[in-house]
Amino acid sequence: MTATTTDAGFEWGSERTMNPLEALMWRAEADPRMRSTMVALEMLDTTPDWDRFLEAHAWATRMVPRFRELVVEPALGIGAPCWAVDENFDLHFHVRRVRLPAPGSFAQLLAAVEQLAMAAFDKARSPWEAVLFEGLPEGKSAYALKMHHSATDGIGGIQLLTNIHSRTREPNPDKPQPAAPAAETFSSTDAFVGQLSRDVRTLPRSLMGGGGDLLRALRRPDRAAADALRFGSSLRRVLADPDTTGSPLLAGRSLSWRFLALEFPFRELRGATKTHGASINDGYLAALLAGFRMYHEELGQPIETMPLAIPISVRREGDSAGGNRFAGARLAGPVGIRDPEARMVAIGAMVRTARDEPAVDGVGLIAPALARLPAPLISQLVGGMTKANDLQASNVPGIREDVFLAGARIERLYPYAPLPGCAAMITMITHGETCCVGVNLDPAAITDS
């Protein structure tokens, strides 16, 4: 699903209020290790004209009002944070260019992007930044778009890029030109009053459990009781720690991130998985686990399983574009299975079981209560789950057609997701016919990248 276009812009990220999961990610940053920064790193075949590049971003902020919005916390910290148009929005703050020193290597680029990603957002402004990196060999350049995870998940991010990137190298004089969103005065008191209003509207239905659900329970109390027991059992499984312990080799944690980039032809992954009746995601996760098996064997500390976390999309048809619509699943990754086919089968069965759990969005169910706790306590509770993960991995379908930014063709798109206290966060996006893998490592955990 992609965002729709209207004279008013793209309908992306249009919700005023953060959902509970977004509120958790925003407030968990009371612990710096829990920063939820996402970076899309695009490799460009040339260096865009700077004025055209700036105009492309000015246009994008009119097409996607979220780019001009900042986060407003409700008074007393009660309720969900809200989005409001920044009356002091200044494009000059958000968009800049940097020239890499000679020779402008890819390693130099990744080091610069690491520093960009590790820097905290100014929460008095809209939480995004864009940087054009010039000085790469052969006149090429790179583009980094940094956003806060509370604005969108991986699928929402691809929805955004699909719509703000051009399909032609030449300018399009026929593209819509909406006016900039009007600045508004929206205070923490307004956010607090809005939360109280929502609570008043939803409380009666919450107490009744939903009118339809209550009537069905009265008609068939035996079935209602069985459903409740089944859901309760599922919730216990979803919230329980995976049946494994963290690797002693990956136990270190720090405030630092280190980026790597990998790529390979999509047809190779598709062929390997199709041959064995596995999904692309099964093959991707199985390959990551094989890498960790070889890493542990090379360093003389082999392991059989490791704590692995993956996102499971809970987007439904008709959901608005943007935002976050995912649940997390925590698994005991079968690192020790040496046969690739057997490893794909094992991880595929685990993922299907997790997807089929009635309470798959178990964290989402408790998130409304968690989001109302003080930020330091949120950091401790959420961090207690994510810091135990040796690996978090995500696979997001990307853009398969040629796209351009201010006249430059995007040759690769490497995704770098946040590292919320775990040892490694590895994300794959299929860009065109290439699988682009962005690896975010904690150097205290993975000492030989």
Nearest to 81 by CA among 3, 23, 158, 30: 23
Which helix (DSSP H) or strand (DSSP E) does residue 296 occupy?
helix 280-298
Is 431 among the catalytic positions?
no
DSSP string, 65-92: GGGGEEEEPPGGG-S--EEEE-TT--HH
Residue 242 to residues 337, 357, 388: CA-CA distances in angstroms?
17, 15, 10
Task: Output Rg (C-alpha) for the chain, integer angstroms.
Answer: 23
Q: Which residue has the tokens 């989005």?
A: 83
Q: What residue ranges in 216-324 does DSSP mark as E strands?
A: 258-265, 306-313
Residue 334 to residues 24, 51, 86, 327, 347: CA-CA distances in angstroms?
30, 51, 48, 21, 7
Catalytic choice (149, 165, 296, 431) = 149
Q: Which two tokens stand for residue 274?
A: 């199709």
Which helix (DSSP H) or strand (DSSP E) does residue 133 occupy?
strand 128-134
Give the whole-angstrom CA distance, residue 342 versus residue 311: 22
Please identify every residue annotated as catalytic: 149
